[in-house]
Chain A
Amino acid sequence: MAWKDDWRRVRAIARKDLTTELRAKAGFNGVASLAVTILILLGLALGPDGEALRNAAVGAVWLATLFSGVLAFNRSFQVELESGALEPLLLYPGPRWTIFAGKLLGNLVFVSLMVAVVMIVGIVLYGITIPDRWPTLLGVTALGVVGLVVLGTFYASMASRSRAREVLLPLLLFPMLVPVLLAATTASKALLGADLMHESGAWIRLLIGYDIVFLIATFIAFEHVIEA
């Protein structure tokens, strides 16, 4: 059955990417270390004021995730380019979208693990109190991660053919992620507080819409990008 073969390809690519990243010295440890370093530096820049730290905590966590995520996205295609593995990958029979889906799944697991580390460190460093509505907060985080990973993986595939990919990826990606960053931070802040104005709901709906639109758009566009 075709869908079983496609799903096997998706899993194989995700498993291969995760195994490679976890074994590579510059893989997970490097990316997670960068995220933690960003959190510490931002904390130092904000000073010892506990209230200021708590107010900035959500933004700091998302910025750390964003910057270290770019490294992860770049690496996911760099692995293919390092030893000319992209060509064999493109030569396997089967639809191109399975390559994107595999990369997406691998990056989703990778960034989720990284976000877990960043959140734990953020809670400790910035003195965040876990709210009663923590499942909703986790949901917002998951939606933000999906938006980040979908666009990050897509633009990494686009930038991978360029020699200036390390510079090109953030230039392409960051402006596109403004709505995700804004919605995720505002909804999270509201959920960490009392959310008296019930503003989190609108931002969550925006996140869901954004994720759906870009998930569909990137799957359609990937074949054209990778063939170029």
Chain B
Amino acid sequence: MAIEAEGLGKRFGIRWVLRGVTLNVRKGEAVALRGSNGSGKSTVLRILGTLLQPNAGAANVNGRDVVGQASSVRLDVGYLAHTPGLYDDLTARENLEFAADMLGLSHSVVQPTLGRVGLGGVTETRVRGFSAGMQRRLALARLMMRTPKVLLLDEPYSNLDESGIALVNEVIRDVMTSGGAALLALHELAPAKGIIDRTLNLADGRISTNDTALLETV
């Protein structure tokens, strides 16, 4: 199993956002996590990505506990947050070179990756001047510099045009073909058509439905 969560609970102040989320994602599977705004989709991803610690329950990524073995989990996870998380005063190239340094990769991967996401012509432009879609592509490029075993994508299609959407799907396919898995927090299922195997609905802090039939209507 790529992702296993059992009874995850998360409280912010006195408000419980997650009240016992149980979910599984098998290796080679891409699962969409759906729910209304504030339903806790991002919180689930952030717990699985080791950015938050749950107040109740437990979760494993590739068999490793997200709390007790967080640093090992981070080696396997590729996480795309809702915000791009880029440095505005650095150029596109500098942003990726920084990521390469942090990931222990060679700088030689930077230019081809920028070309692959369609930013080959703006490598020396500061991110401050990028549109939201370009920033999203650059964040995606950071993810594409290596092939993680588990993808956690929070609204990955937002601000992207058709070619950007195709890029996201390409990244997911790459991970799946190498035996990985993906969990996507989504509002719209349409861009993920042909990629998603299953959807999970999150409501009132719990998984309310575990549905494959939904995908046939997309």
| B109 contacts the other chain (CB 8 A) | no
| A29 contacts the other chain (CB 8 A) | no
Docked pose: A92 CA to B86 CA in angstroms: 14
- Which listed residue (A5, A82, A93) contacts B75, Cβ 8 A? A93
| A124 contacts the other chain (CB 8 A) | no
User: Are B51 and A90 interface neighbours, CB within 8 A?
Assistant: yes
User: Are A92 and B103 interface neighbours, CB within 8 A?
Assistant: yes
- Residues facing B in A8-64 (CB within 8 A) are 8-9, 11-13, 16, 19-20, 23-24
User: Are B87 and A20 interface neighbours, CB within 8 A?
Assistant: yes
| A209 contacts the other chain (CB 8 A) | no
Known contacts A87-B81, A91-B50, A95-B71; is-contact A19 B102 (Cβ 8 Å): no
User: Are A20 and B102 interface neighbours, CB within 8 A?
Assistant: no
- Which listed residue (B71, B81, B103) contacts A84, Cβ 8 A? B81
User: Are B81 and A93 interface neighbours, CB within 8 A?
Assistant: no
Point out the residues of chain A lying under 8 angstroms from B126, CB to CB. 23
| B85 contacts the other chain (CB 8 A) | yes
| B79 contacts the other chain (CB 8 A) | yes
- CB-based nearest B residue for A12: B101
Point out the residues of chain A lying under 8 angstroms from B79, CB to CB. 87-88, 91
| A94 contacts the other chain (CB 8 A) | yes
Docked pose: A71 CA to B99 CA in angstroms: 26
Point out the residues of chain B lying under 8 angstroms from A11, CB to CB. 101
Binds A, one of B88-96, B114-122, B202-210: B88-96
| B104 contacts the other chain (CB 8 A) | yes
- Which listed residue (B51, B86, B90, B101) contacts A9, Cβ 8 A? B101
Docked pose: A79 CA to B95 CA in angstroms: 13
How near does chain B come to A109, taking the closest CB pair, in angstroms?
17
Chain A interface main SS type: helix
User: Are B90 and A83 interface neighbours, CB within 8 A?
Assistant: no
How near does chain B come to A23, taking the closest CB pair, in angstroms?
4
**Chain A interface residue bracket vs B:** 20 to 34
How near does chain B come to A205, taking the closest CB pair, in angstroms?
38
| B74 contacts the other chain (CB 8 A) | yes
Known contacts A5-B104, A93-B103; is-contact A84 B74 (Cβ 8 Å): no
Docked pose: A24 CA to B90 CA in angstroms: 10
Docked pose: A139 CA to B25 CA in angstroms: 58
| B69 contacts the other chain (CB 8 A) | no
| B212 contacts the other chain (CB 8 A) | no
Point out the residues of chain A lying under 8 angstroms from B86, CB to CB. 83, 85
- Residues facing A in B105-142 (CB within 8 A) are 126, 142
Docked pose: A94 CA to B73 CA in angstroms: 11
Q: Looking at A87, A88, A93, which has the most chain B CB atoms within 10 Å of its CB?
A: A88
Docked pose: A77 CA to B114 CA in angstroms: 27
Chain A 62-86, CB-CB to B under 8 Å as 1, else 0, gives 0000000000000000010011111
User: Are B102 and A92 interface neighbours, CB within 8 A?
Assistant: yes
- Which listed residue (A8, A85, A86, A92) contacts B74, Cβ 8 A? A92
Docked pose: A24 CA to B101 CA in angstroms: 22
- Which listed residue (A79, A90, A91) contacts B87, Cβ 8 A? A79
Chain A positions within 8 Å of B, measured between CB atoms, are 5, 8-9, 11-13, 16, 19-20, 23-24, 79, 82-95, 227
Known pairs A87-B81, A93-B104 / 15 extra A-B pairs, C-beta < 8 Å: A5-B104, A8-B101, A12-B101, A16-B98, A24-B89, A82-B88, A83-B84, A83-B88, A84-B85, A86-B85, A87-B51, A87-B83, A88-B99, A93-B71, A93-B103
The 7 A-B pairs of least Cβ separation, nearest first, read: A84-B83, A12-B101, A92-B102, A88-B85, A23-B89, A84-B85, A85-B85
22 CB contacts below 8 A, A to B, read A12-B101, A12-B102, A13-B102, A16-B90, A19-B89, A23-B89, A24-B89, A82-B88, A83-B84, A84-B81, A84-B84, A85-B87, A87-B46, A87-B51, A87-B83, A90-B50, A91-B77, A91-B79, A92-B99, A93-B75, A93-B103, A227-B53
